[in-house]
């Protein structure tokens, strides 16, 4: 608290000096403030009320609340992740591709390292996809590749297993079948991607590719695999019983979901598989994109100030959050800046109205 | 690139009635342990400035920030240091009860009986009228719990309801909000909820019958020090740079201030021995014995 100091001396007073008139001239006289304070009748003070200006200010805190949805929200897997492919130039070569998000300011200083899992030195990964970082395993076996990214928000690691020699499943129908539904001349239902191998992939209407501003759309991930249906076989006349949960040899659980002439569906360890009569087996799942239903809501003690007045869900998922304008009383770090159109659209619950040029 | 900055300080537009002015006086800066505090009537002595057409706004619009403080002559009547401490007005009352809402048992709060509130502050006790106010607590022995306060996040009229508890035959008094005004005010405070890591660690928000002090947060406490001095640099400058006259005939030496008021008057004379040898030149303060014929206007008019 600053202290303002004011001095009252005779020179700053006009009305409190003793008046006198002599030969028609009016003037005052004094010899210091004591004269003023005791110069009246019977030694009374001549001082009248004084007046000083004062300034009062108010430091205020934003009584707003933070919303987890007013800024950018991305899953950690998007910020630190990799994929790997076979290195055809080496006998047991594996190349990783750094798929980590990089076009955001808050990750600009991030560093990435890979531990190939075979005792070889940890290697720094400088490049991003499509540039590869390769390694040759000397001994066949299964290894865990640990890919770590270090940024201002800490160290995040992704682990993936690779079996050497690495076998790539062949694409039986890499281009899939594109269906152009007749919509009376409207092309709105046209698929936007043709590189699918599973017929559910053709659900590529635009509405399924967009999401609310705060979430990343989960998309279908599918691929060819080796059938595991035999692991669900039971003894008896009906070897596969729909809905019967079994514990498999590796400790996981699985069950047959449905059987038809088109395919047999089953799940193992919560992963869905489809076996087709032609011998193909495919799996499919959703990516780890975030939607609001994946966030756990609870009484949020963080915004006590408005507790029980405005409730917001508390994010308990493993995500990166960019706090937006409702940061209020929180001690927070602003993670990102608006440096691309996507961030501009998502910032602050549509704080900026972004339109396409031909809409203007 | 920063996306934007904003300030968190604003000129306060608090009403004088929400301000308390504490006055402390000491005649000197010598060590003293005898603190005497008095209070100035803020409604009488503190007046806000208002806008006008020349600066924008109307004369009914509070300017904000700037206030005029009157220093009453009956209190500021001696040389010395006057320390004025401006703080938010304190509402002293007690907690009638601590309870929860019947419809939302997780919502804890304190209940204040408005009849226990000093009459001049009861107008604040309306729905949401206390939001942002600070609550401080007193011990039974009258001491204040230091470094401890809570903030009121909401307040509504309420009324008690009796509910059967699920597990016992006891009945519990809970509260529900009332549409109309009642004598009871349910205030939610922050912090009052348990951290998620320790669900049973409920923050203290007070106890029934505990004395509390409720203060607004409309402005920052401020201190102004007014020092009434015999001389300051300005008056000393008079002696150096002010008009001066010396009467040759009677040796009266007069110093005038910037308004040509007589500031000091001296007799100038010499002291000699019996051989008429000069021993001293003397300048003697005439004090109250002022020769008014030496006023500046009179002299220069001759």
**Does A165 sit behind a cis peptide bond, omega within 30 degrees of 0 on the bond before it?**
yes
Tell me the residues of chain A between 70 and 109 that have a Cβ less than 8 Å away from chain B. none
What per-residue confidence (pLDDT) applies to B161?
86
Asked if the Cβ–Cβ distance from B225 to A29 is below 8 Å, we say no
Domain ranges for chain B: 16-88, 91-215, 233-300
Asked if the Cβ–Cβ distance from A52 to B69 is below 8 Å, we say yes
Region A181-193: what's the mean pLDDT?
49
**Which residue has tokens 């922050």?**
B190
State how far the Cα of B244 lies from the Cα of B263, in Å rounded to an integer: 10
Tell me the residues of chain B between 87 and 126 that have a Cβ less than 8 Å away from chain A. 104, 106-107
Residue A74 lies in a domain: no
Of the candidates B1, B65, B217, the beta carbon closest to that of A55 is on B65
Q: Which residue of B has its CA nearest to A302?
A: B195
Which residue among A237, A260, A286 closes a domain? A286
Where in the sequence is the domain holding A280, given as residue range(s)?
221-286
Determine how β-strand B222-228 pairs with β-strand A3-8: parallel
Residue A249 lies in a domain: yes
Q: In the predicted model, is pLDDT for residue A329 greater than 80?
A: no
Chain B nearest CA to A299, separation (Å)? 9
Q: Is A65 helix (H, G, I), strand (E, B) or coil?
A: coil
Residue A140 DSSP code: -
Region A134-162: what's the mean pLDDT?
88
Chain B nearest CA to A331, separation (Å)? 15
Residue A296 lies in a domain: no
State how far the Cα of B113 lies from the Cα of B95, in Å rounded to an integer: 8
Region A252-256: what's the mean pLDDT?
90
- Is A280 buried (19+), middle (13-18) or exposed (0-12) by CB count in 10 A? middle
Task: Specify the DSSP element, H or E, that contains A345.
Answer: helix A341-346
Q: Which of A23-37, A318-332, B17-31, B241-255 has the lowest mean pLDDT?
A: A318-332
Q: Which pLDDT band holds residue B137 (cuts at 50, 70, 90)?
A: very high
Inform me whether the C-beta atom of residue A4 falls under 8 Å from chain B C-beta atoms: yes
- Percent of chain B topping pLDDT 70: 91
What per-residue confidence (pLDDT) applies to B107?
76
Number of domains chain A contains = 2
Q: In the predicted model, is pLDDT for residue A72 greater than 70?
A: no
**Which residue has tokens 């002599």?**
A22
Q: In the predicted model, is pLDDT for residue A280 greater than 80?
A: yes
Asked if the Cβ–Cβ distance from A11 to B293 is below 8 Å, we say no
Q: Which of A146-160, A171-185, A243-257, B105-119 has the lowest mean pLDDT?
A: A171-185
CA distances from A202 to A41, A176, A222, A276 (A): 105, 9, 12, 18
- pLDDT digits 0-9 by tens, B148-195: 888 888 888 999 987 665 555 555 688 888 878 899 999 988 776 666
State how far the Cα of A260 lies from the Cα of A283, in Å rounded to an integer: 17
Of the candidates B12, B229, B287, the beta carbon closest to that of A57 is on B12
Q: Is A305 helix (H, G, I), strand (E, B) or coil?
A: helix
Mean pLDDT of chain A: 71
Which residue among A59, A86, A103 closes a domain? A59
Tell me the residues of chain B between 263 and 282 that have a Cβ less than 8 Å away from chain A. 263-265
For residues A219 and B96, which has the higher predicted lDDT (pLDDT)?
B96
State how far the Cα of A150 lies from the Cα of B213, in Å rounded to an integer: 49
What per-residue confidence (pLDDT) applies to A198?
45
Residue B150: CB atoms within 10 Å: 23
Global pTM value:
0.55
- pLDDT digits 0-9 by tens, B182-241: 999 999 887 766 665 666 667 888 999 999 999 999 999 999 999 998 888 888 888 889
Hey, what long-range contacts does A27-31 have (CB within 8 A, 24 or more apart)?
A27/B260, A27/B261, A27/B262, A27/B295, A27/B296, A27/B297, A28/B259, A28/B261, A28/B262, A29/B261, A29/B262, A29/B263, A29/B265, A29/B290, A29/B292, A30/B261, A30/B262, A30/B263, A31/B263, A31/B264, A31/B265, A31/B285, A31/B287
Beta-carbon contacts of residue A343 (< 8 Å; ≥ 6 apart): A72, A104, A336, A337
Inform me whether the C-beta atom of residue B236 falls under 8 Å from chain A C-beta atoms: no
Q: Closest by alpha carbon to B256, among A27, A45, A14, A40? A: A27
Q: Which residue of A has its CA nearest to B196?
A: A301
Q: Which residue of A has its CA nearest to B264?
A: A31
Q: In the predicted model, is pLDDT for residue B288 greater than 50?
A: yes
User: Is the CB of residue A58 less than 8 Å from the CB of residue B220?
Assistant: yes
Q: Is A258 helix (H, G, I), strand (E, B) or coil?
A: strand
Residue A190 lies in a domain: no
Asked if the Cβ–Cβ distance from B217 to A58 is below 8 Å, we say yes
Asked if the Cβ–Cβ distance from A56 to B293 is below 8 Å, we say no
- pLDDT digits 0-9 by tens, B2-54: 455 667 788 999 999 999 999 999 988 887 777 789 999 999 999 999 999 99
Token output for B248 = 């040759």
What per-residue confidence (pLDDT) applies to B145?
93
What per-residue confidence (pLDDT) applies to A196?
44
Q: Which pLDDT band holds residue B122 (cuts at 50, 70, 90)?
A: very high
State how far the Cα of B20 lies from the Cα of B88, in Å rounded to an integer: 6
Inform me whether the C-beta atom of residue A23 falls under 8 Å from chain B C-beta atoms: yes
Q: Which residue of B has its CA nearest to A328?
A: B8
């Amino acid at each position: 608290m600053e202290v303002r100091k004011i001095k009252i001396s005779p020179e700053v007073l006009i009305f409190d000096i003793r008046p006198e008139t002599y030969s028609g001239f009016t003037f005052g006289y004094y010899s210091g403030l004591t004269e003023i304070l005791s110069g009246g009748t019977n030694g009374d003070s001549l001082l009248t009320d004084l007046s000083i200006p004062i300034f009062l200010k108010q430091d205020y805190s934003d009584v707003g609340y933070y919303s987890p949805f007013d800024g950018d929200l991305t899953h950690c897997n998007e910020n630190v992740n990799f994929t790997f492919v076979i290195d055809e130039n080496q006998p047991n070569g594996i190349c990783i591709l750094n798929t980590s998000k990089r076009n955001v300011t808050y990750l600009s200083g991030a560093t990435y390292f890979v531990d190939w899992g075979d005792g070889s030195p940890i290697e720094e990964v400088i490049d991003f996809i499509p540039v590869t970082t390769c390694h040759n395993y000397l001994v066949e076996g299964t290894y865990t590749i640990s890919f770590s990214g270090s940024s201002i928000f800490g160290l995040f690691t992704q682990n993936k297993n690779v079996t050497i020699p690495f076998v790539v499943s062949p694409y039986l129908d890499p281009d899939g079948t594109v269906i152009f539904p007749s919509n009376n001349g409207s092309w709105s239902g046209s698929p936007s991607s043709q590189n699918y191998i599973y017929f559910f992939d053709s659900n590529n209407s635009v509405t399924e590719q967009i999401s609310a501003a705060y979430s990343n759309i989960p998309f279908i991930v599918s691929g060819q695999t080796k059938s595991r249906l035999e692991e669900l076989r039971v003894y008896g006349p009906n070897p596969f019983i729909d809905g019967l949960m079994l514990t498999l040899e590796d400790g996981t659980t699985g069950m047959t979901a449905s059987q038809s002439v088109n395919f047999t569906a089953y799940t193992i360890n919560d992963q869905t598989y489809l076996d087709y009569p032609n011998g193909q087996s495919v799996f499919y799942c959703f990516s780890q994109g975030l939607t609001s239903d994946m966030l756990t809501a609870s009484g949020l003690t963080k915004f006590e100030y408005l507790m029980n007045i405005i409730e917001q869900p508390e994010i308990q998922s493993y995500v990166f959050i960019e706090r937006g304008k409702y940061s209020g009383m929180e001690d927070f770090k602003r993670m990102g800046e608006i440096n691309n159109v996507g961030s501009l659209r998502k910032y602050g619950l549509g704080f900026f109205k972004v339109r396409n040029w031909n809409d203007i | 690139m920063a996306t934007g900055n904003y300030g968190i300080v604003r000129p306060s537009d608090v009403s004088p009635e929400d301000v308390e002015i504490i006055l402390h006086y000491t005649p000197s800066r010598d060590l003293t342990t005898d603190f005497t505090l008095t209070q100035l009537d803020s409604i009488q002595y503190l007046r806000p400035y208002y806008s006008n057409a020349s600066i924008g706004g109307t004369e009914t619009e509070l300017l904000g920030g700037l206030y005029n403080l009157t220093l009453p002559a009956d209190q500021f009547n001696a040389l010395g240091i006057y320390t004025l401490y401006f703080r938010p007005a304190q509402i002293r009352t007690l907690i009638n009860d601590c309870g929860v809402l019947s419809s939302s048992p997780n919502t804890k709060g304190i209940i204040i009986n408005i009849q226990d509130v000093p009459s001049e502050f009861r107008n604040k006790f309306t729905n949401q009228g206390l939001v942002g106010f600070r609550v401080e607590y007193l011990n039974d022995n009258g001491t204040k719990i230091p470094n401890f306060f809570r903030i009121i996040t909401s307040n509504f009229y309420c009324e008690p309801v009796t509910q059967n508890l699920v597990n016992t035959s006891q009945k519990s008094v809970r509260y529900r909000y009332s549409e109309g005004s009642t004598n009871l005010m349910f205030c939610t405070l922050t912090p009052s909820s348990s951290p998620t890591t320790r669900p049973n660690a409920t923050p203290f928000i007070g106890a029934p019958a505990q004395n509390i002090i409720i203060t607004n947060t409309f402005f920052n406490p401020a201190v102004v020090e007014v020092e009434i001095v015999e001389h300051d640099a300005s008056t000393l400058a008079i002696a150096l740079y002010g008009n001066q006259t010396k009467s040759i005939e009677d040796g009266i030496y007069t110093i005038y201030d910037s308004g040509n008021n007589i500031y000091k008057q001296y007799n100038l004379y010499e002291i000699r021995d019996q051989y008429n040898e000069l021993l001293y030149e003397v300048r003697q303060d005439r004090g109250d014995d002022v020769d008014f014929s030496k006023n500046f206007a009179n002299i220069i008019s001759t």
